[in-house]
């Protein structure tokens, strides 16, 4: 009897320690907010579960926010959480290379120089308060649409001040720029400006239900200032890969693409999570469900990308790190290319692969966004759900 009681006490002690450890682990590591697709359940593992009535609500209720309690062994309270029930999104999978022609809403200041005048060196741009990265939206009250418009305004000013309206990080400024007479003839403002950009990227997904598409996973930025270029209008065209420069440590490679005459659609938005546009015609692409952020897991996955005229192909990768859901940047995960064929051919990730879909467990979980310069087999990815959320917000605002 004594041995039985001793064994029983030992078992109870082990159970208590196990329960206490589970509660501590759950309190510190389980999320405060989870997302669940409607008519689906959320897997908390063998030890933890949601309060029954809330779990049923998450599986049957329409989209909305619900309060829940997580328990250990279905009886011991661990923590209260918020359950967000969302509708499962399905999209057509991309992987196609496309060409981007982007025209800015305004003109961006990319460089500032001094002007050599008969009386010496002067700095009209600095004196006016202009800075690199400023976006000039109006010149003398008229919308600034092109670099040539700025050049003409400076040349025709004959030294009279120009009234500029400038967007600096979302702040509106009214500045006065006085061009100076150059020793080389004509008037100069001491600024270099740009009004457009062109390049290639990869389509992440198509949505034939509303005739839209998304790509890149990050915004198109000015090459000199690094600022996202505000979109006035733009065009997306089909492109063909005719080669690439292989990546190596310290030297990221690049896809070489040729624009075709076949239009994909018009561009609507250029923002932190990518570029979004309207399709001219349905894509007919194979559809996959979009993973919620909580469904993205560490481990094996695949990226879909195009490196030659054989079209989009699947290549093996591994998701090695996932950043907290509270991180709102476009760098939500780290991926590593493990496919020997892709590493042999391209060295890993090259420029132009931005937007390449990442698939895991037969779901679209993300898109490739950046390559690690010192290790091109690795790079960043954005959650696909971030991109579809942006797309849905654009649709709601239309």
Active-site pick, 128, 218, 283, 356: 218
> How many Cα atoms occupy the beta-carbon half-sphere of 277 within 13 Å?
28
Let me know if 224 is a catalytic residue. Answer: no
Which DSSP string corresponds to 244-268? EEPPBTTB--EEEEEEEEEEEEEEE
Active-site pick, 354, 356, 370, 385: 354
Active-site pick, 182, 339, 375, 389: 339
Q: State CA 62 to chain mean position distance.
A: 28
Nearest-angstrom CA–CA distance, 129 and 172: 13
Q: In this structure, what DSSP letter does residue 286 have?
A: P
Closest residue by Cα to residue 276 from 355, 167, 379, 356: 355
Paired with 304 in beta bridges are: 314
Nearest-angstrom CA–CA distance, 205 and 384: 9
> What's the full length of the chain, in residues?
398
Let me know if 218 is a catalytic residue. Answer: yes
Closest residue by Cα to residue 233 from 146, 160, 314, 112: 146
Distances in Å between the Cα of 29 and the Cα atoms of 69, 79, 254, 292 are 15, 11, 40, 18
Nearest-angstrom CA–CA distance, 225 and 236: 23
Helix boundaries (H) for the chain? 2-29, 52-60, 124-128, 147-156, 340-346, 384-397
Cβ atoms 270, 146 nearer than 8 A: no
> How many Cα atoms occupy the beta-carbon half-sphere of 28 within 13 Å?
6
- Nearest 5°: CA angle at 101, between 188 and 374? 90
Please report where in the chains the tokens 């209720």 appear, as a residue: 61
Nearest-angstrom CA–CA distance, 94 and 205: 5
Let me know if 138 is a catalytic residue. Answer: no
Cβ atoms 286, 93 nearer than 8 A: yes
* Cβ within 8 Å of residue 166, ≥6 positions away: 130, 134, 135, 136, 137, 172, 173, 174, 175
Known catalytic residues? 218, 339, 354
């Amino acid at each position: 009897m004594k041995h039985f009681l001793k064994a029983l006490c030992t078992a109870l002690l082990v159970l208590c320690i196990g329960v206490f450890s589970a509660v501590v682990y759950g309190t510190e590591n389980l999320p405060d907010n989870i997302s669940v697709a409607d008519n689906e359940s959320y897997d908390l593992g063998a030890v933890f579960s949601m309060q029954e009535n809330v779990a049923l609500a998450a599986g049957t209720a329409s989209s909305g926010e619900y309060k829940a309690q997580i328990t250990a062994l279905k009886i011991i309270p661990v923590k209260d959480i918020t359950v967000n029930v969302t509708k499962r999104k399905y999209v057509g999978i991309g992987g196609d290379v496309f060409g981007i022609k982007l025209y800015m809403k305004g003109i961006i200041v990319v460089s500032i120089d001094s002007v050599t005048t008969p009386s010496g060196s002067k700095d009209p741009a600095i004196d006016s308060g202009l800075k690199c990265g400023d976006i000039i939206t109006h010149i003398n009250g008229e919308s600034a649409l092109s670099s040539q418009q700025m050049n003409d305004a400076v040349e025709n000013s004959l030294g009279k001040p120009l009234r500029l309206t400038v967007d600096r990080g979302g702040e509106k400024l009214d500045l006065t720029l006085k061009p100076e007479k150059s020793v080389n003839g004509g008037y100069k403002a001491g600024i270099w400006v740009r009004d457009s950009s062109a390049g290639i990227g990869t389509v992440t997904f198509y949505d034939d239900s509303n005739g839209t598409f998304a790509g890149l996973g990050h915004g198109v930025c000015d090459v000199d200032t690094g600022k996202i270029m505000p979109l006035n209008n733009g065009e997306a065209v089909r492109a063909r890969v005719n080669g690439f420069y292989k990546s190596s440590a310290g030297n990221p490679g690049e896809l070489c693409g040729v624009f075709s005459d076949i239009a994909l659609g018009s561009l609507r938005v250029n923002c932190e999570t990518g570029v979004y546009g309207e399709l001219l015609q349905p894509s007919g692409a194979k559809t996959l469900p979009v993973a919620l952020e909580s469904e993205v897991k560490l481990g094996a996955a695949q990226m879909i990308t195009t490196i030659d005229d054989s079209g989009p192909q699947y290549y093996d990768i591994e998701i090695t790190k996932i950043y907290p859901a509270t991180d709102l940047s476009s760098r939500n995960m780290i991926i590593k290319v493990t496919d020997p064929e892709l590493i042999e051919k391209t060295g890993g990730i090259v420029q132009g692969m931005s937007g390449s879909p990442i698939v895991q467990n037969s779901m679209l979980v993300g898109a490739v966004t950046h390559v690690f310069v010192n290790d091109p087999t690795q790079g960043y990815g954005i959650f696909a759900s971030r991109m579809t959320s942006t797309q849905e917000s654009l649709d709601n605002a239309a």
